[in-house]
A and B are shown apart, each in its own frame.
Chain A
């Protein structure tokens, strides 16, 4: 349990470094060092070359795309390509990026808030049906989002809400995994004495949550937010089944639609490539910014 929190995980890592610096026992042979580095370097190429290729492809004009070395630059047309992409069809690509940002950003923020409140209540209050509720939510973790897409479509069409913003946005506000993670984290990192002290100071329960407990739960909240953001940003089946109106598409669905028309409209190929490149940049930036949280905290839920 105690290993769940970042403050605990970090000293462990430091202890490990200490152990490395003062070697006891047998020294690692140079051969195994070289072997380990080789394995990692080879796989670095495997993981990064596709992205490198996409970046290089994004900088080329369509004529040079096929005629020059695919893994090295020709004339640098990245900004011209981006300009063309944004201008294409009245900037529908930009619209898709904004849609994705809204679906994923606002959706993940609210989902994290709701999950945190529920997980916190499950951890810190006693009430009848608490374990039942938690077990139902836990069952929800095992229900894949794709399995819900079709029935959600049927329900939304009953209330004539398919092909609207809400059809994609509302279902993404639920994160059972977030409830699970925040509950575990809240019981480990928010001391009962602190809540008691806030009560004695006259703070209400809800206010205590927002002013005191949220701060203590912050690493878990970032993890939940990140997970949910990625899940919504990557979501494909739900928008595919819900949306017909192009201006509501998230970027994944938009690029998918273009890609499936490449055979009829070859000029789309260039737009798909540069669009794919631009669509992964926000997530990479988010990962880099929040690195210190996911680096050790990502697996928090798996450590029992």
Chain B
């Protein structure tokens, strides 16, 4: 952000006040007000963000020891024991592979559609833009759990309004259920991503493409050569949020467990965390959580770096 510029500005301010400029020490005006503004958030953020992260790491370093088979269980420091178990855990890595496959297909499809709709809304080709904007955004009002329940009925071989299709194609089978869930997620989030991209498009001053229009460029050309490069930051942002969302999949597959036996308790990494913690094996579950959070961070961060480098060229 603006971090590099600020120390200099602070130094200038401090310098104008005291005869001997000491750039690091600045006099804080209104410390009381600043405290009132910041302390409530800071306390809550510490308690419910930082502390849980620290506590998860702490718990993941413990192992349970028992005196004999039926003895009392005590938690002792076990170093990276739980992490070794995580790396040896086949189902966990299968679930990671599964959500990665999901993301590689679902995220580009969803963002491609969102981009297409945003560009169409921004083009002079459409009538009734307000209606489309609202209609496409409405699914975002449906919570993931409810959307999954609804689509579970729509996929059902005998209750669906499209039984001609669903009685022939088994969307809830082991082969297809992952993509059936991908469709639910796409259905909910396309409109939301569309709006983010669309508001980036609205922020482009029209003068930029008036010249291109005078030169005879069509809408497709303008979209491809002018609009898309300019809204890249918004697309990258939707990409990062989608990657995070994909790795964290939980509600939809959890609901689908009651529609399809193909969705096991180890279907996604978060389901794995949930089922491991309810065994209960909280230490291993905590280690799963930490690895998952790290994987999420690494993936979204490298996506950001990758796209930034591409833009820089």
Contacts and interface: CB of A to CB of B under 8 A. Distances in A.
A117 B255 contact: no
B52 A155 contact: yes
Given A151-B286, A259-B149, A233 B143 contact: yes
Contact of B250 (A138, A146, A152): A146
Contacts of B127: 37
A174 interface: yes
A48 B146 contact: no
Interface of A: 3, 9, 12-13, 15-16, 19-20, 23-26, 28, 32-33, 36-37, 39-40, 43-44, 46-51, 53-54, 57, 65-66, 69-71, 114-115, 117-118, 120-122, 125-128, 130-131, 133-138, 140, 142-144, 146-148, 150-155, 170-171, 173-174, 176, 179, 204-206, 209, 230, 233-234, 236-237, 240-241, 252-253, 255-256, 259-260, 262-263, 272-273, 276, 279-280, 283-284, 286-288, 291, 294-304
Contacts of B192: 298
A256 B254 contact: yes
Contacts of A48: 135, 138
Interface of A is mostly: helix
Contacts of A24: 210, 213-214
Contacts of B41: 114-115, 117-118, 174, 179
Given A256-B254, A263-B258, A302-B200, A280 B55 contact: no
A147 B296 contact: yes
Interface of B is mostly: helix
A140 B233 CA distance: 20
A202 to B, nearest CB: 14
Given A40-B132, A260-B258, A303-B203, A143 B149 contact: no
A299 B196 contact: yes
A173 B274 contact: no
B199 A25 contact: no
Contact of A236 (B145, B160, B273): B145
Interface stretch (B27-35, B88-96, B104-112, B169-177): B27-35
Interface in B222-255: 233-234, 237-238, 240, 244-245, 247-248, 250-251, 254-255
B73 interface: no
B134 interface: yes
Contacts of B296: 142, 144, 147
Given A126-B13, A152-B48, A70 B161 contact: yes
Given A241-B277, A279-B143, A299-B198, A147 B132 contact: no
Given A134-B1, A147-B296, 20 more contacts: A9-B199, A9-B202, A19-B206, A19-B210, A40-B132, A46-B187, A50-B154, A66-B158, A114-B40, A125-B30, A130-B6, A131-B3, A133-B38, A142-B300, A171-B48, A206-B33, A234-B145, A263-B258, A283-B142, A304-B233
Given A24-B210, A127-B28, A39 B116 contact: yes
A239 B52 CA distance: 16
27 contacts: A3-B203, A12-B203, A12-B205, A12-B206, A16-B122, A25-B217, A32-B125, A43-B113, A47-B190, A47-B191, A50-B154, A51-B142, A115-B41, A133-B42, A142-B244, A143-B53, A144-B248, A144-B293, A170-B44, A173-B48, A233-B143, A234-B251, A255-B149, A256-B145, A299-B195, A299-B197, A303-B234
